[in-house]
A and B are shown apart, each in its own frame.
Chain A
Amino acid sequence: MIDRMGAWPRRRVLAGMVGATAALGAPAILRAAPSGKPVRVGGTLSLTGFLAQTAVVHKIASEIMVEEINSRNGFLGRPVEYVLLDDQSKPDVARSLYEKLITVDKVDLIQGPYATAPILAAMGVAQRYGKVIIQSSMGIPKLQTYDMAFPATPFGPNPDQTYPNVILDAMASMPTPPKTIVILTSKFPSAQFMAQGMREQSEKRGVKVVLYLEYESGNRDFGAIAARVKEANADFLWVGSLGLESNQVLEALRKLDYTPKNSFHLYPAPGPLALSPDAKNALCSTFLEPAEPFMSRPGVARQAAAYKERATKANLPYAIIDAQAAGMISEWQILEAGVNGAKSLDDKAIAAFLKKNGADTIYGNLRFDGPYNHGTAEQLIKQVQNGEWKVVWPAKYAAPGVKLIGS
């Protein structure tokens, strides 16, 4: 259980401990399972369409969390039921489905969808009906203008300013700190947003941007782009990529017999990139990896194992828990904290509680009292080392013995 002792009356804690001990000692006796009418939580995910490859991760994470919540107290002692619909990767479908969930299916609460455009569509609906909406994958915090929207991933209010500095710090710590940088980005809103920030901050900190290239998302042929990157031959390559673009860029560079000295990739699909033979020591953004210090956070080890098991069963090629899955886990943890903390299913009460108290999640304690309800930024850097992702920066998040490998 998440450590919230301070907020609970002593009596309850004692009772809980007695109950827990009894439960441990007598497995044949069922624990007090949540009972009664289910609390229905409605949401959509892009189960088909071009966003489907990541939405499936969210779906599995949700299933794990709903089970976990129901193995505890559910929501206010009632079991949780996740009413999940497919928004087909289309924001207008997402919008209409959230309206269906709220006005026709009359769900009690809602959970956010995946990716910026569906999230914004859903946010509009949530705002009109005064529902709390929690999301974990919108990379442009300033668009989260709805007061009762909560971010489950600690981007921080302006990641385009804060995160580049994290990267630049890491760069400065390398044996030979890079002095020149090539910035290559997709024109997808969340990637382009961060790329512009990277350019700004690099110039502020004296790293010369020798080449800044934008390509349209969905670009097929990276040959010419690779040729330009190779020609620029900077000390550091920063790629604002999504999905498979990093693989494509690195492969295209290798075909030209060029390996960038250091490379960073923003939001690629983690599995394929880790397994790519061209991605040795590539850096990437993350919020969590299944290693210390994250694994010793309460419940994480179990969630990681459950994720691995289910993902493998679902035939996913990459079955390791990552920031996307963690984001969804965090969403549910926040909702649970809000409901059980406010002791109510009323959205206003939940929102007030969360704003006041924050929530303990897989990412640690998150607060929602900053601009756009965002708290401190906790975006980290991971690196491919021996085919596996390892968090390397800031150093305090690196597992013992793991260091950033720079050239």
Chain B
Amino acid sequence: MTSANALPSALPRLAAVLGIAVFAILPTAGLPAFYDSFFYIVFFWISLSTSWALLSGFAGYFSLGHAAFFGVGMYTTATLTTQFQVPFLATVPAAAAVAALLGIGIGAVVFRLKRLRGELFALLTLAVTFVIATIILNTPIDGGAGVFMSAVPMPDIMPTQTGTIYVLGFVMCAATLAIAWKVAHSRLGMGLFAIHDDEDVAEAKGVPTFRYKMAAFALSAGIAGAVGGIHAMYVGFLTVGGTFELTVPLYVVLMSVLGGSRHWFGPTVGAAVITTLLYAFISGGEAMIGRAIVGLILIVAILWLPDGVVPAVQKWFRKRKASETEPAASIVPVVTAPARPVGERTILEVRGVTKRFGGLQALDGVDLDVREGEILGLVGPNGSGKTTLINVISGFYPLSSGTIAVDGAQIGHLPAHEVAGRGVARTYQIPRPFVNMTVLDNVALAATFGGPVRPAAEVRDEAVHWIAFTGLAGKEQALPAELNLHERKFLELARALAARPKLLLLDEVLSGLNPAEVDNAIRLVRAIRAQGATIVFVEHLMRAVVELSDRIAVLNEGKLFALGAPREVMRDPRVISIYLGKAYAA
């Protein structure tokens, strides 16, 4: 969501400033106090749903436990004010801190476990809510009697109590939105969006997924805690049932979905709409019909705008811009780069690498050296361990034993994002672009996390360069779904290159291409090597392997079977036999 804003950039900024100013001075406008309360409630839901979306919308870790953080915040404030006479304002940061700690605690355990994604994460957060609610119910924190808050003195920020609550809610909301905006436009946000689309690929591109998820979760929980702390004063009497009921976790999801959960402003729209709707039908005479009407409106809204309001508005603005002609991906210009001599430095050093999956030995002691500037072809029958070797080198699988060094640095036991940081990039046999990000954003992400920290404009230029290099010029604003297979494969390459890797691992980049596209790709691989990269590529298409490789390594049953110049290796009868059976070897 970084560069795709089609509005003139001055307008949203102006609107934001105006909005903040108007709402900041609203309580002094002399409106009846009810409006202070009503807007407080709107701010309340905006803060809650936006904080939920920080992790669940941006990163896709669907949490059903937002009530846990909200409730913990509420009860922290309640306990500190009523049992320890701490002034109310001082308890709000405490509430945020306790909730954030809870989030960090949960995340520290859960985010390390790959299998706890998707619904299992939702379940876990739901279970945590039940546990916390029950603990609070059965201990002196609440104990079942409820906590009576009306006697706690309110700070004197505004002349009226409702005015004060309004200001607190407004400040909280503004702060939350500022945080959401900042996250969405920062490296953290970029990483979270990538995690949403494909966490493993994000990690492979250098995104420190664990750290980022923790940061998002801590922010999300902390904000919810602070909101809860303030709300304790609003409600006046806390009960466990009322605090931890399913309304909070459910409504924040609905509001985010309605507004668009991947956009920092989406939940705001959803929260404002739903809260206003719920207050529109409060008359005692039509209470039930009112709820039915609200339900109907929501159904119509989401059927019409399935991705949410904000994305729909964005799409509309984008369509209004003159749509450029979409040139087909051009053939990569022939780079008559001189054949670079292979250097002396060993870029990749693989020693005794084994990889076991339970009882299956996928790699059985592989030794390999690849020199700087070399193109090494990696071939072998199906199941010989080629992709496993790539996965192990790139850090996707941990080693069972052995060592791997890239340009002298040991990477064998590093997490994938740190391997990426050491100059290793890979592509996937079936392209795995970030489906909700444009081509430009896909490549820019790789450039951001694969290179040194630099201003966004520089990153953008670099991305554009690599997009052109791979022949995708003109497709920067396209979404991956709009590309054909050939273009998507080249997007994989552009992404890999944007990190300026020392070592590039290509996994069957030619499969599925027609002969003209194959020639194009071969030219491209050569051009990449001319830039100074070392390439290890897995391939089945023999003519390409022979044409491109300086050397060929043959894997069979997890072991290095043969290694040498292409023509020799391919004529070796043992190699032929493992492909076609002994009868052909003669």
Contacts and interface: CB of A to CB of B under 8 A. Distances in A.
B137 interface: yes
B231 interface: yes
A45 to B, nearest CB: 7
A218 B240 CA distance: 12
A127 B283 CA distance: 24
B84 interface: no
B282 A192 contact: no
A214 interface: yes
Nearest to A103: B32
A48 interface: yes
A47 interface: yes
Interface string B231-269: 100111101111000010000000000000000000000
Interface in A127-162: 127-128, 143, 145
A85 interface: yes
Given A47-B287, A99-B34, A117-B242, A192 B144 contact: yes
A96 interface: yes
Contacts of A360: none
Interface in A33-56: 44-45, 47-48
Interface in A78-134: 83-88, 90-93, 95-97, 99-100, 102-104, 116-117, 120-121, 123-124, 127-128
A99 B239 contact: no
A216 interface: yes
Contacts of A145: 150-151
A256 B567 CA distance: 85
A216 B134 contact: yes
Contacts of A104: 32, 34-35
Given A96-B38, A145-B151, A85 B231 contact: no
Interface string A40-80: 00001101100000000001000000000000000000000
B234 A217 contact: no
A91 B28 CA distance: 26
Given A48-B291, A95-B234, A123 B145 contact: no
Nearest to A192: B144
Interface in A211-235: 214, 216-218
B162 interface: yes
A258 interface: no
A66 to B, nearest CB: 12
A48 B284 CA distance: 10
A123 B146 CA distance: 16
Nearest to B234: A92
Nearest to B236: A124
Contacts of B162: 99, 128
Contacts of B284: 44-45, 47, 59, 83-86
Given A85-B282, A99-B37, A216 B137 contact: yes
B291 to A, nearest CB: 6
A47 B288 contact: yes
A118 to B, nearest CB: 9
B442 to A, nearest CB: 44
Interface string B23-44: 0000000001111111001000
A193 interface: yes
Contact of B287 (A86, A91, A124): A86
B161 interface: yes
A128 B148 contact: no
Interface class of chain A by DSSP: helix
B32 A189 contact: no
B341 interface: no
A192 B279 CA distance: 33
B279 to A, nearest CB: 8
Q: How large is the interface on A (under 10, 10 to 19, 20 to 34, 35 or more residues)?
A: 35 or more
B236 A95 contact: yes
Contact of B283 (A86, A96, A121, A193): A86
Interface string B307-324: 000000000000000000
Contact of B34 (A48, A92, A96, A187): A96
Contacts of A189: 144-146, 239
B515 interface: no
B452 interface: no
Contacts, number: 113
Contacts of B234: 92, 95
A188 interface: yes
A133 to B, nearest CB: 13
Given A99-B34, A116-B237, A48 B288 contact: yes
A92 B234 CA distance: 7
B410 to A, nearest CB: 54
B33 A103 contact: yes
Contacts of B33: 99, 102-103
Contacts of A99: 32-34, 36-37, 162
Contacts of B151: 145
A143 B148 contact: yes
Interface string B284-318: 11011011000000000000000000000000000
B145 A100 contact: no
Contacts of A59: 284
Nearest to B283: A85
A47 B236 CA distance: 21
A117 B34 CA distance: 19
A67 B290 CA distance: 26
B37 A95 contact: yes
A120 B148 contact: yes
A377 B285 CA distance: 35
A356 B36 CA distance: 36
A143 B102 CA distance: 32
A86 B145 contact: no
Contacts of B41: 92, 96
Contacts of B247: 90
A130 to B, nearest CB: 13
Nearest to B38: A96
Contacts of A102: 33-34
B457 to A, nearest CB: 46
A91 B150 CA distance: 13
A231 to B, nearest CB: 22
A89 to B, nearest CB: 9
A143 B287 CA distance: 29
Contacts of B278: 88
A117 B237 contact: yes
B241 A218 contact: yes
A112 to B, nearest CB: 14
B236 A121 contact: yes
B282 A97 contact: yes
B235 A92 contact: yes
Nearest to B146: A189
Contacts of B34: 96, 99-100, 102-104
A121 B235 contact: yes
A143 B82 CA distance: 14
Interface of B: 32-38, 41, 134, 137-138, 144-146, 148, 150-151, 160-162, 231, 234-237, 239-242, 247, 278-279, 281-285, 287-288, 290-291
20 contacts: A48-B287, A84-B283, A84-B284, A85-B282, A85-B284, A86-B284, A91-B237, A92-B41, A99-B162, A100-B38, A103-B34, A117-B242, A120-B148, A128-B161, A145-B151, A187-B138, A188-B241, A189-B144, A189-B239, A216-B241
* CB-based closest 3 A-B pairs: A84-B284, A103-B32, A187-B144
Given A44-B284, A117-B239, 9 more contacts: A47-B284, A85-B282, A92-B235, A99-B34, A99-B37, A102-B33, A123-B236, A192-B145, A216-B137
